[in-house]
Structure formats: C-alpha cells, structure tokens
Chain A
C-alpha cells in the first residue's frame, strides 16, 4: 500500500472511531456561562453574592443525555491569592449552590456546594447550576489582582 493510501486509511479509521464514540448518547457538556461576580465591595465589609442573583451568581450549563444521573462536586477555595502574598477570604455556605432542571434561576433546588451531590438530567438533557458565595475583604485589603480556581467535577454514575 502506498503512503498516501495508508494515510487516507488511517484518517478514515479515526473518523469512524470518533463517530462510534459520539454515538453512545449525547456527550456531556459543561459550560461556564457567567463567573461568580461580587460587584463593588467595600474594604472590611463582607458581601454575599446569592445564587439567585442574575447578575452575580456563577452560572453553569449542563447538557447531556436525558435521565442521566451525574455526581457533581465543587472544590472551592477559601481564599484568593493576591499581590505580595496577600489573600482575600472567600466563604461558601450550605445553600450557596442550586440546581435547576428547568434552567430557570427562579426555580432552583438548593444544594451544598461543599459536598458532592447527585442530579438527574431532565428529558431535554439540559440543566443549570448556580453558585453563590461570600467575599470577606479585610479593612486594609491590599489592591491588585486576586486569583483562585474553582474545580467542578462531574462523574457519570450509570456506568
């Protein structure tokens, strides 16, 4: 077999394999729609961004196969790292996450973002997650860029 023919054959095999992989139900898609946003915060004054706040809550869209059971787990930071080793405290409480099978911010089932929780995707395979939290700046909070990572783990429970 010539090299070009072999290359075509390999490509065809890869495409066929990809098609088979995607044929096993709709693959899960988790998309961040909006970051958790605390708005203007005064130094020394804690601010709670509610999960039901359309402008401030973190919002995630889940798309998958209907009736699929999933385990979701946040790994949440308790502080953000800033300039010169400064940190900015973050707090997440028991009711700070919500799941909506209707994708509506006004119809949420409260969940504790500090523990794993399970959800079942609705018949259209689409749902949303909402996340709130509290930022606790100190009275002498240093200015600059603060960063932290929120990890969201999603695991299939039916396989």
Chain B
C-alpha cells in the first residue's frame, strides 16, 4: 500500500451518530365527522434527542399491483372524480419539534368546500420525522480522513376518513381462484366496495379437507377503497393429496377500528374447491 493511500484511509469507522428514529404516531386511522370537522394525532418521541416533525397530506389508498400485492397508491394531484380531502385537511402545528420523552398533540382541522355532498372523503396523513441536527463536533485538525453521517428520516403514513351525512358500508367478493404452487396454496379474489364508504374489514381464509376439518387458516386486515385483486398464500406442505375447500369470510370485525366508526354490513362468504396433488 502506498503512503498516499495510507494517508487517504477514510475514517468511516466512526460515522456521525445520526441514526434517528421516528416518532410514534397514534392512531393509525383518524375519523373526522363533518359536524365536528376536527380530529387529532398524538406524536410521542421515545428517543433521547429532539425530533423535528412535519405533517402533510396526500391522496392515497391501498390497491393491488399486477401480482396481487397490496401497495399504497398515491395520487399527488387527484382528479375531480376522487373524493379527496387532502386539499382541505390542515394540521396544526404543521411543523414542530418534539422533545425527548414528550408527546405532542397535532390537531387536524377540516375546511371542506361549501355544499360538500354527503359521503366519505379520504386522505393520507404523512408524518415526517427526523432527529434535530446535533451541534457540530469540534474540528480535529489531526484527522485527515472522511467522516460520514447518514441521517434517517422516517415517514409514517396513516389514513384519515372524513364523513358527511349518511355513509353505507359493505364489500363484494368475486372471482375466487386458487392453485397450489410449491408448498403453498396461492389464492386471489376480486374485492369491491358495496357501500359509499371505504370497507375496512378482515379477510379470513380456511382450507378444509373433505371431512370438514380445518387444515390451514389465515386472516388479513383489508381496506377496500377501489376495486382490487389481492393474492394470498396458505401453507399446504404435508397435506395429503385430495379434494379440499377454500372458504373465505369477509367481515368488519376489527379491534383496531373503533366500533362507533364501523359501517355495519353482513359478512360476505365465498368458497372454491381445491385439489392438492
């Protein structure tokens, strides 16, 4: 190794300790009623340094990609056909610094257009948090190397639903299909809202053998804003070859959604026969 190379040894072994953590954001779903026109978020900084927070809105909703994976679809400039509340939900304060170990309440105020039709309106709340900059370290002229500091910014995206007037719930399921791939049963279903409100519920899947015994089961939280076609997997390794039946139940029983905000509807069921080779 040349002397020049030795001198250029980059002292990256002591990076600037700027690995921030985000704030805890609660709740993960905010409901705002047109009569009150306000909601709130709680931000908690569990760390040991102040965290700078900025709150913004964007129109978005869960959807599925071509492989059936659930993804967050965002539309920075939603069209007029979209029930977006992103343009008229405002956070106070929009920027703040949360001291270590403390909590901050952020109020979400709605200023909807006059003559807003009855219905449900949606937006995502984006809480961007980064550790407040540390005071610069004293210069060390003896060190010729390089120091790096990778700062972490954490963006937590939650949902806000604004309701005006009567809103109905419900979901439809169609096109249930399933096939074995390796040691899993891959199944998909097409879901769509049956009411005027987004459907927030549970998809419960059971695989029963010909005697009716449950051989595999799984459940997923699902949110349906627009038609989507999610795909899921159930483990089938070790199951005997033969006929089985995959049963789906979609209901609104979720303990993370306050009961007073759930939109009542009957459970939806579907099933399909499956051959395990």
Contacts and interface: CB of A to CB of B under 8 A. Distances in A.
A158 B152 contact: no
Nearest to A47: B12
Interface of A: 14, 17-18, 20-22, 24-25, 27-44, 58, 65, 67-69, 71, 80, 82, 88, 116, 118, 120, 135, 137, 139, 141-159
B220 A148 contact: no
A118 to B, nearest CB: 6
Contacts of B159: 156, 159
10 contacts: A24-B27, A32-B152, A36-B15, A41-B12, A80-B150, A143-B10, A153-B157, A154-B157, A157-B72, A159-B158
Given A20-B258, A21-B42, A118-B71, A32 B148 contact: no
Given A31-B21, A88-B146, A154-B155, A24 B9 contact: no
Contact of B28 (A31, A80, A150, A156): A156
Q: Give the size range of B's interface with the partner.
A: 35 or more
A42 B12 contact: no
Contacts of B152: 32, 35, 149-152
Interface of B: 1, 5, 8-13, 15-22, 24-29, 40-42, 44, 46-47, 60, 62, 69-72, 103, 105, 124, 130, 143-159, 200, 219-223, 255-258
Given A34-B19, A42-B8, 10 more contacts: A27-B27, A29-B46, A41-B12, A118-B71, A143-B144, A143-B146, A152-B153, A156-B29, A159-B29, A159-B200
A28 B25 contact: yes
A29 B43 CA distance: 11
B256 A146 contact: no
Contact of A21 (B11, B27, B124, B146): B27
Looking at B8, B13, B18, B256, the one whose CB has the most chain A CB atoms below 10 A away is B8
B124 A69 contact: no
Contacts of A145: 16, 146-149
A14 B105 contact: yes
A144 B147 CA distance: 6
A8 B94 CA distance: 26
For the complex of A and B, the 7 pairs showing the least CB-CB separation, nearest first, are: A158-B221, A43-B8, A155-B157, A25-B256, A32-B19, A27-B26, A35-B19
A155 B29 CA distance: 11
A147 B16 contact: yes
B13 A39 contact: yes
Contacts of A32: 19-21, 152
Given A18-B42, A28-B156, A118-B69, A148 B151 contact: yes
Contact of A146 (B19, B144, B149): B149
B222 A158 contact: yes
Contacts of A153: 154-157
